Structure 1
Amino acid sequence: MKWVLMAAAAALVTATGVQAQETPRSIVPIHEVDIRPVGTPRYVIEVVVNGAPMMAGLDTGSTGLRLLPRAAARARVAPGGEAETYSYGSGVELDGRRVEADVAIGGARGRVAIQAIDHVTCVAHQPDCPAARVSPNAYGLMGSGQPGQGFPAIIGIRLMSGRVDNPFRALGVRRWIVHLPQRGGGAGALVLNPDARDLAGFVPLQPGAANPRGTVAGCVSLAIPGAERLCGPTLLDTGAPGLTVLDASAPPRWQEGSRARIDFAPKRGGPPPALGFVTGDRAHGAQATFKPGGSDRVTIHAGTLPFYAYDVLFDADSDTIAVRPNGEAGPAVVPLNPQEDRLILPLIAALAAAASADLPVGSRYVSLGSSYAAGPGVGVPDPTSGACARSMSNYARQVAARRRLRLVDAACSGATTANILDHGQHGFPAQIAAVTSDTRLVTILIGGNDIDYIGTLGWLTCRDTGGVDCHVRDAGDVEARLAALPASLDRVVAAVRQRAPATRIVLVGYLPAIPASGPGNCAAVPLTPADAARMRGVAIRLAQAIGGAAKRNGVDVVRSTLVGERHDACAPQPFVAGFHPAANPGWPTPVPYHPNQAGMDAIAAALDKVLG
């Protein structure tokens, strides 16, 4: 479903009684990370604490933003604070301090109570918890006890209160939608303060009890006539893959490989939402554990299973959870057709109508390009991208999340057209290998390194600021490279079309670093006026080459010179960093003359508009 931007403003009373102004609607990408070697899927989002970006495990089964010591140190969390202890069903116990910090998640920003963790231990009755299997320095939250796995932070967004509360309440987020990516592909999205179009089609569920504590009424059973149903408060938990049924024995005939189902009770009548799955399917969290106990009240921990079949809406105002079929579901975990009571692949009219006719939900999207596409220095780095230095919040990932496309991000810092067509970089193959016959969208941002655009800009700045060994490229050489660029761009487009004849291709231009008029220099761009004029001319020629290739080949183009107009590196609100950008704690070094997060956001919005 294409998420549509709409601002909103209203007051929210948090659990602590503090008034927080409702923030505008925003979308936060959700990424899947496999915990190795066990293969457990975890889901993460980017959070920024005191200006330091970091990845936080997304947990709908707990509350509070909690930072391991290394993350708290990087965020310069204040010392002191009240003692805070919090434990999880896995037996992991976090001892630390309750402190306040400036937190940003998507478009939501504010002062939030968090936990700065000092020690990670196990609760007394579970001494073999995941924290006991790894040294403190190698421990990561949600890492399943595997050394070097997991995350420096965890964010619990369950609909319940705590001493360290769900941070959304203090950030002015009144409701949120969790759309998990399907296993092995696709893009997930966390939609904060969704608008009316986002909310279409959701079915509110009955609470799990008089004091629901973030649960709903649910039943689990085999998908056969007359099967025993185990019913009780049901927790939908992105932080705990696996189905656990407390205070109950396994029903008769329950065995791996059987068809099973979970039914939910709708709040206002009508057909009950239900999902079907195959028991023992570890890839989708369908391995079941039954724990008989002394109580006659069954409790169901459904884990991630429901999120593969449904988008889930959490509404803090009404303390309600609602579901809507996930348009990418199946065939392993799917909504059940209440009329026919059989497994089906969902075809949701609302989603199809909202998606572009030639770019349906779940389409394969390949991003090709150089560092301006990869996004070094922006947000949080993709830990799997190595020296290609891809950002988790570059424009391709944002668009994939908005439209729920299956993204393959092949962009790589330093790439030329030859790296797309002929040979890869840093252990990765040529980028064109990512384009397969089923690809429906390819975006291409390339050409700058063919003419050494940023390299020349950087070396000129080196020389103009009194540096030594500044290897400025001869103007004639740059001119020759510009003359050869159109043919290279044509070859890239032709290669994409050869591999995926039906794909839609969009060329993306380079955001301008030099002001379009005036001297062209400033503190952020310390060039002489002559060199600023020279590089302004090169940038214009580069934009013309990309625009010309789009016209010759009949493909779409994002005209980034227009997107970045009055947002150059000298502007009050720049889309491109200057020669001495501020350090980003998530990256080893600052990256001059490259897009910042605002620039990536602007390109993502422009690309989304081009796609229609």
Structure 2
Amino acid sequence: MSHRPLARALTALATLLTTALAAVLVGPGPAQAAAVNYVALGDSYSSGVGAGPYDWSTCLRSQKSYAPLWATAHGASNFAFPACGGAVTADVLNDQVDSLSAGTTMVTVTIGGNDAGFVDVITSCRFGTTSTCTNAVNEARAFVTGTLPGRLDETYATIRDRAPNARLIVLGYPRLFELNSCGWLAMSVYKRTILNQAADLLATVTAGRAAAAGATFVDTRPFFVGHGVCASDPWIHDISGVIEAYHPDVDGYRHGYLAALNSVTG
């Protein structure tokens, strides 16, 4: 009987064992990075108002906003940036969601502040009496608890429908103010306190609706602690800039919003 078949079998077995051992010692090869198709939706806190310089659109988009910074740092394969200063939920639904598709893998959004009358409330508190400020804040709070949840639900559901394979990340708004002494031209501590409390309510409502939609909510408030208006190192503009007032500056977008986003994406 010939021993050649047995020799061939032993050789094949030895080759198989050598290959397996090499795989164990060397380990798996480098993983293929998944393509990131990122779309940044939302209002001025996403478009980058306060960071400048801006594009030529009326949306005041800045490449120093957290969204383009994240896209660049993470090597996004595709990045769409329809976020627009002044946007409300209806603008996201009517215009911005057209940038989404089944190929979108990540969506971020900040929305709801303008629906609740952010600009009017701040203006009433900055230039009006204490009672005017209180009334404006109370009206906004009633809107945030009564009307805004339904608008957020519709917005998140539409994003889900347009981008069914994407991770949806909802970013909140920071508290705008520190409560220390801030000079005689500053808003009173009382006004700043009730505005911060309104921001807390907005964060709570937004977080709840994001959770209901299966989205990831990112609370930006902790990242801005000690850097609000009246801080020694503020990351939020005061009234000095009309358009940029009460929006993050370059540091606010990089060290506040971008850091907050990185905390959930890595």
If the length of structure 1 is used for normalisation, what is the TM-score?
0.36
Displacement after TM superposition at 1:529 (Å): 2.6
d(CA) in 2 for partners of 1:609 and 1:476? 33
Aligned to 1:493: 156
d(CA) in 1 for partners of 2:158 and 2:189? 40
The verdict on how the C-alpha distance between 1:351 and 1:522 changes in structure 2, with shifts beyond 3 A counting, is: farther
Say whether 1:410 aligns with 2:91.
no
3-state SS of paired residue (1:474):
helix
The verdict on how the C-alpha distance between 1:590 and 1:446 changes in structure 2, with shifts beyond 3 A counting, is: closer
The verdict on how the C-alpha distance between 1:580 and 1:390 changes in structure 2, with shifts beyond 3 A counting, is: same
Match 1:421 to one of 70, 93, 113: 93
Match 1:460 to one of 125, 129, 147: 125
CA contact (8 A) 1:525 1:578 kept: no
Aligned to 2:253: 600
Match 2:140 to one of 478, 492, 495: 478
d(CA) in 2 for partners of 1:591 and 1:553? 31
* Higher helix proportion: 2
d(CA) in 2 for partners of 1:421 and 1:390? 19
d(CA) in 1 for partners of 2:119 and 2:183? 18
Q: How many residues align?
A: 234
Alignment of 1:127-142 (within 5 A): none
Alignment of 1:238-317 (within 5 A): none
d(CA) in 1 for partners of 2:149 and 2:243? 31
CA contact (8 A) 2:41 2:82 kept: yes
Displacement after TM superposition at 1:605 (Å): 2.2
Aligned to 1:19: none
Aligned to 1:365: 38
CA contact (8 A) 2:43 2:87 kept: yes
Aligned to 1:448: 113
Give CA-to-partner distance per residue, 1:15-46, whole Å, 9 cap, x none: xxxxxxxxxxxxxxxxxxxxxxxxxxxxxxxx
d(CA) in 2 for partners of 1:524 and 1:443? 39
Say whether 1:398 aligns with 2:69.
yes
Aligned to 1:388: 59
Aligned to 1:570: 230
CA contact (8 A) 1:506 1:557 kept: yes
Displacement after TM superposition at 1:525 (Å): 7.8
Displacement after TM superposition at 1:530 (Å): 2.5
Alignment of 1:14-413 (within 5 A): 350=30, 352=32, 355=33, 360-361=34-35, 363-383=36-56, 386-405=57-76, 406-413=78-85
CA contact (8 A) 1:411 1:431 kept: yes
Match 1:513 to one of 163, 176, 184: 176
3-state SS of paired residue (2:217):
strand
3-state SS of paired residue (2:168):
strand
d(CA) in 1 for partners of 2:186 and 2:194? 14
CA contact (8 A) 2:172 2:219 kept: yes
The verdict on how the C-alpha distance between 1:560 and 1:409 changes in structure 2, with shifts beyond 3 A counting, is: same
CA contact (8 A) 2:50 2:237 kept: no
Matched to 1:382, the amino acid is: D
CA contact (8 A) 1:526 1:579 kept: no
Matched to 1:558, the amino acid is: V
Displacement after TM superposition at 1:472 (Å): 8.9
CA contact (8 A) 1:456 1:473 kept: no
Displacement after TM superposition at 1:475 (Å): 4.1
Match 1:541 to one of 196, 201, 204: 201
Matched to 1:417, the amino acid is: T
The verdict on how the C-alpha distance between 1:449 and 1:472 changes in structure 2, with shifts beyond 3 A counting, is: farther
3-state SS of paired residue (1:510):
coil
The verdict on how the C-alpha distance between 1:454 and 1:543 changes in structure 2, with shifts beyond 3 A counting, is: farther
Aligned to 2:24: none
d(CA) in 2 for partners of 1:464 and 1:514? 18
The verdict on how the C-alpha distance between 1:557 and 1:471 changes in structure 2, with shifts beyond 3 A counting, is: closer
d(CA) in 2 for partners of 1:572 and 1:550? 33
Displacement after TM superposition at 1:409 (Å): 0.5
d(CA) in 1 for partners of 2:234 and 2:127? 21
3-state SS of paired residue (1:388):
coil
d(CA) in 2 for partners of 1:566 and 1:495? 36
The verdict on how the C-alpha distance between 1:378 and 1:475 changes in structure 2, with shifts beyond 3 A counting, is: closer
Matched to 2:67, the amino acid is: A
Say whether 1:522 aligns with 2:182.
yes
Matched to 2:220, the amino acid is: S
d(CA) in 2 for partners of 1:394 and 1:555? 21
CA contact (8 A) 2:124 2:136 kept: no
d(CA) in 2 for partners of 1:492 and 1:388? 19
The verdict on how the C-alpha distance between 1:524 and 1:444 changes in structure 2, with shifts beyond 3 A counting, is: farther
Q: Which one has more relative contact order, counting CA pairs under 8 Å at least 6 apart?
A: 2
CA contact (8 A) 1:464 1:526 kept: no
3-state SS of paired residue (1:526):
coil
d(CA) in 1 for partners of 2:134 and 2:97? 31
Displacement after TM superposition at 1:546 (Å): 1.7
Matched to 1:552, the amino acid is: A
3-state SS of paired residue (1:393):
coil
d(CA) in 1 for partners of 2:93 and 2:185? 33
Displacement after TM superposition at 1:506 (Å): 0.3
Displacement after TM superposition at 1:481 (Å): 1.3
d(CA) in 1 for partners of 2:184 and 2:114? 22
Aligned to 2:99: 434
